Structure 1
Amino acid sequence: MMPIHHLDSATLVSHAAGALSPELAAVAATHLGVCAHCRRLLADAERVGGALLQQQQPATQDSGSASRLRQDMLARMQAPLPASSDAAPKPTTQHAADQLPRPLQPYFGKAWKDLRWRWMAPGVHMIRAARTSGDTLILLKIAPGKSMPVHSHQGSELTQILRGAYDDALGHFGPGDIADLDADVEHQPVTSPGVPCICVAALDGPLRFRGWLARKLQPMVGL
């Protein structure tokens, strides 16, 4: 699993600062569990953030100085990283293959086989996390070759691909890839042939659907 789509630097800085909601943080942590590139960036953000905070005087920061710290951290994170020295992932055992990623287990349980999918639309099934802080956290299972409605976002969305794949205007997203989206992005995911696409998504605001039918059905699915 070699992800080619990664967390945005601003998202990593927020994650390092503990500023993401629990739902967004769970998806970010799921990606970090399989992406050495983002783990190195996160470690860099944590080191730079710690150094900047130590240098900042006085200790109590106003909103302007906090904003400057964030901008400094983002700028330093753009520097080229050294080549990865991470070892290749160990082979997955059959028992481990049935386990959901650890950050998702408090919301959905431990095992894939125990998931109880709810029909949402033809070829689309969903599980909504019941215990959340207010943001939406869902698992989606979408049949192969299925086109989702064209939509944009009223807030942030993190979508991590767990199995299968989809394509949209941003490229091809396979297992391990994450879509880090904001209100400026409009897209239409189309799942790849072969196997269902299973992903986990966290949203801090409702979706914006272009089509009237999707808008009509939106209150029923709660997205």
Structure 2
Amino acid sequence: MNEIKHHLTDALLMGYSAGTLPEGFNLVVATHISMCDECRARMYEFDTVGGAVMDAEAPANVSDESLAATLEMIAADQDAGHEDIAPRPARTGLFPSPLQDYVGGDLDAVKWRKVGGGVRQALLKTDASASVRLLHIPAGTAVPDHGHRGTELTLVLQGAFKDEEDRFGAGDIEVATEELDHQPVAEDGLDCICLAATDAPLRFNSWIPRIAQPFLRI
């Protein structure tokens, strides 16, 4: 794998460690951590700090029914499809283990849908707090230029793309906020496959993508 140059922010790692991120962001973060030794080590540091803070807190009084109620809540969350997304470095195939769990396999298990210009996407099922999709962008192809109404996390799984900010190769993650307008272009060579999560609709700068946006759920 190429050297990873673009990493997660401290805020994202702290949110993942504390369990406060949307489910879709959790999936992207866990997938990146599975690919990135540096971010995995930083995440464990935040876990350690969080554990120390909890140890320093005064014990709280709880009722005898608390354990049973907690187990019921965990079971209900699992039944609703909300999984504990843990980074696991070991993998076979293109997708790291957290992503394989959501896809139900590797690349050959993905149900792609054409979105125009040769680009394909596959929406992954998560809660409504953020939408998550796999993107397959043919080599040399540009996606429509756009801005952001919230935060978009884009993790490269295969190939690479360039935009107004930098070049992003396999394992790199781009954290795009409302300040960024860009037009990612997949590099020549391998087709670019990305995992992307957004907590708000994109802001397209041309009218054709804006018309298609409600149907593509981007």
TM-score tier by shorter-chain length is: 0.7 to 0.9
**2:116 is equivalent to residue 115 of structure 1:** no
Q: Which residue of 2 aligns with 1:49?
A: 50
Could you tell me the TM-score, scaled by structure 2's length? 0.79
Amino acid at match of 2:155: Q
Amino acid at match of 1:171: D
* Whole-angstrom CA distance in 2 between matches of 1:193 and 1:54: 52
Q: Which residue of 1 aligns with 2:207?
A: 212
Give the Å deviation of 1:116: 2.4
Give the Å deviation of 1:132: 1.5
Query: Quick one: which of 170, 174, 177 aligns to 2:165?
Result: 170
Q: Which residue of 2 aligns with 1:133?
A: 127
Query: Quick one: which of 186, 195, 198 aligns to 1:200?
Result: 195
Q: Percent identity?
A: 39
Contact conserved, 1:161 with 1:173, CA < 8 A, in 2? yes
* Whole-angstrom CA distance in 1 between matches of 2:11 and 2:123: 26
Give the Å deviation of 1:43: 1.2
Q: Which residue of 2 aligns with 1:143?
A: 138
Q: Which residue of 2 aligns with 1:102?
A: 97
SS of aligned partner of 2:167: strand
Contact conserved, 2:138 with 2:186, CA < 8 A, in 1? yes
**2:156 is equivalent to residue 155 of structure 1:** no
SS of aligned partner of 1:39: helix
* Whole-angstrom CA distance in 2 between matches of 1:171 and 1:57: 47
Q: Which residue of 2 aligns with 1:70?
A: none
Contact conserved, 2:121 with 2:133, CA < 8 A, in 1? yes
Q: Which residue of 1 aligns with 2:17?
A: 16
Contact conserved, 1:124 with 1:141, CA < 8 A, in 2? yes
Query: Quick one: which of 181, 184, 192 aligns to 1:189?
Result: 184
* Whole-angstrom CA distance in 1 between matches of 2:174 and 2:100: 21
Could you tell me the TM-score, scaled by structure 1's length? 0.77
What is the Cα-based RMSD across aligned positions, in Å? 2.2
- The 1:184–1:56 alpha-carbon spacing in structure 2 relative to 1, beyond 3 Å, is farther
Give the Å deviation of 1:55: 4.1
In the alignment of these two chains, the number of paired residues is 189
Of 104-113 and 162-171, deviating more is 104-113
Q: Which residue of 2 aligns with 1:6?
A: 7
Give the Å deviation of 1:57: 6.7
SS of aligned partner of 1:100: coil
Which consecutive unaligned segments of at least 5 residues does structure 1 have?
A: 60-88
The C-alpha deviation readout for 1:167-208, integer Å capped at 9, x for no partner, is 012211011111122222221101100121001111111111
